[in-house]
Amino acid sequence: MMSEQEKASYIEADDSTRLILTPSSTAQATYFFVQEIGRFKTTFPYFTERDRLHSYLILHTLSGRGRLHYQGQQHVVGQGDLFFINCMEYQRYEAMEEDDWEFLWVHVQGSTLDGYYEQFCQRQIPVCHPAESSSIPELMRQLLHVQIPRNNKTELISSQLIVQLLTEVVLTSIHIGEKNNAIPASILDLQQFLENHYTDPITLDDLAQKYNTNKFQLSRDFKQYIGLPPIEYLINIRINAAKNMLRYSNKSIQQIASAVGIYNVSHFINLFKARVDCTPLAYRKEWT
């Protein structure tokens, strides 16, 4: 593998567009920002091969087909397909012999972009196919268009568009990962059970027994559809209820802990501080 370098064979049509940009120090510290962006039409034997590049790449195929080599696997990407990859890892993408390949692409960075990528990786495959009605290609076109001419609003607007683009990409991966986009009835039932019984002592073993399943499978399934494991979801319900009582009641910390189903006050304080970044008493003083 290479180290912080790129190998490429560039064959591009005259109407291709490539912009290489240098973000301001403010953008690098505060916003999501574009490193490189363009619309590219090429043919075999075009390829790009690299690793150890501090960047994320989103590439959307407009026509033709290409091939992506990434994380030890190969993926053919056809019209409408999109891939989202971390360029710190080895990648090679190339045109295929029988097709011209036209695509929109953008290299992006930002301080919290890792989190979006981790969410996208839940499906464990870097390629997805957005619906025909998806706003992703239009967002990429807008992001390209707004770069020229640049002005004092360009970086803020770019950051806004990147957030929208990342959100749509992650939502697309979630929808594809859910059969018919439907949350199973058992997961909805468990979610409602936790909402209604958060004051009760509940363990993952209790839930597995109630729903007649393996506790590890139950936790994985619930997180897939709801976003958190069931016990973490339960703790969040309890913390939210505690916040309400801290702000709108005169109950003591001990009383509030018991009222939300946590009977060890020290454990309650530790759970609260880990999620709110302050103690319950500090939260009460700040908000009342």
pLDDT digits (tens, 9 = 90+) for 66-77: 999 999 999 999
Shared-domain flag, residues 122 and 44: yes
CATH code, domain carrying 189: 1.10.10.60
Q: What is the pLDDT of residue 2?
A: 42
Confidence (pLDDT) at 60? 98
Strand 17-20 to 33-42 pairing: antiparallel
HSE (side-chain half, CA atoms, 13 Å) at 141: 7
The CA-atom distances, in angstroms, between 83 and each of 89, 126, 172 are 14, 5, 11
Residue in this structure with the two tokens 């291709």, named with its chain if needed: 16
For 118, list phi and psi in degrees, rounded to 5: -60, -40
**Domain span including residue 132:** 5-179
Examine the domain organization and report whether 26 and 160 are in the same domain: yes
Does position 160 have pLDDT exceeding 70, yes or no? Answer: yes
Domain check: are 251 and 226 in the same one? yes
Last residue of a domain, one of 145, 179, 213: 179
The owner of tokens 């499978």 is 217
Rounded CA gap, 137 and 106, in Å? 11
Q: Which of 150, 179, 208 is the last residue of a domain?
A: 179
Residue 1 predicted with pLDDT over 80: no
Write down which residue in 140, 164, 179 finishes a domain.
Answer: 179
Both 265 and 164 in a single domain? Answer: no
What's the token pair of residue 20?
């290489």
pTM for the model: 0.76
